[in-house]
Structure 1
Amino acid sequence: MRRILTTLAILATLSLAGCATDQRNDALTTTLNAYASTVRWGDFATAQQFVDPKVREAHPVSTLEMARYQQYKVSGYDEGKGPTPHGEFEVTQVVQINLVNVNTQSERTVTDHQTWHYDAEGKHWWLVSGLPDISRQ
C-alpha cells in the first residue's frame, strides 16, 4: 500500500511539473508570435513593451532612436530555426529582419540576437536583449 501511495504521489508531482512546463511553453509561443507580429508591422513603440521593465529602465530608448525606427518599414521577419532553450527559464533566438528605408527605398537586413527570460512569479516571458539594433550597417 505504501508503495502505491508513493508511486501516485510521484506521478501527481510529475504531472503538475508537466503542466507548468506546458503553460510556460504556451506562454513562450504566444509571446514570440505577438512580438514577431508587432515588429512585422513596424510598431517598435509597442514592441518595447515586450522588453523586461528592468532593462527598459536601465536602457531607455531615446527619442532619436525611436525616430530612427520610424525611418524604416519592416519587409521581412525570419525566425530561422526558432528558439533555443538555455536552461529552464531562458531561450535565445536569432532573427533576420529586413528593413526598407522610407527615404531611400534601399533594403538591408539586420540580425537580431534575442534573449528571452521567463519570470516564474509573473508567469511572463520578457525580452532581455532589448529591441533590435538597426543603427549598425
Structure 2
Amino acid sequence: MRLLRYLPLLLLLVVGLAVAGPAQRALPRAQDNWSAAIRWGDFDGAINLIDPAIRAEKAPNSIEMARYKQVQISTYHDVGASADYKAGLAVRDIEIGVINRNTLAERTVRYRETWRWDPQAKAWWITSGLPDLWAND
C-alpha cells in the first residue's frame, strides 16, 4: 500500500529524466572533455570538439597552433554556467591560469564558452573556438 502512495512521484521522476534527454546528459561530458583538453595543453585534441562548421571556416593555422605550445595552463575554473536544453544552447564562463613557458610569468584570462547541441550527431559542439589566451596582452 505504501508503495502505491509513492508511485505518482516515481512516475514523475522517470518522465522528467526522459524529457531531459540525451542533451542534458551529454553536456557535462562534453564540457569535461573540453576542459581536460585545454587544461592539459591538448589544443590539437580540443579542435576536434569545435563545431565542424566553425572548425572548417576558422581552423587555426600552424602559426597560431605554435603559439599555444608556448603556454602552459595552470588552472581552469568554471565561474558560472547556464543551459537552455530546449534551445540546445549552453554558456560557461571560465577563468584560465596561463603560464608563458619562456618567461614563466603567470596571468589569468577570462573566457566564455558557448555550446550548441547537434541533435543529428547527438553531440555538443563548442562554438566559441579555442580560448584567446592573449586577450589581455
Short-chain TM bin: 0.7 to 0.9
5+ residue gaps, structure 2:
1-10
The number of equivalent residue pairs is 124
Query: Stretches of 4+ moved more than 2 A in 1?
Result: none
Alignment pair present for 1:24 and 2:13: no
When residues 79 and 110 of structure 1 are mapped into structure 2, their CA distance, relative to the original with a 3 A threshold, is same
| Residues 19 and 61 (structure 1), Cα distance of their counterparts in 2 relative to 1, 3 Å cut | same
Conserved 8 A contact 2:116-2:125: yes
Alignment-mate amino acid for residue 28 of structure 1: L
Q: Which consecutive residues of structure 1, in runs of 5 or more, have no partner in the other structure?
A: 1-10
Normalising by structure 1, report the TM-score: 0.83
> What percent of counterpart residues are identical?
32
Residues 108-131 of structure 1 deviation map (CA, whole Å, 9 limit, x = unaligned): 111111100000111100001111
Matches within 5 A, 1:13-92: 15=15, 18-81=17-80, 83-86=81-84, 88=86, 89-92=88-91
Aligned alpha-carbon RMSD (Å): 1.9
Shift of 1:87: 5.5
TM-score by length of 2: 0.83
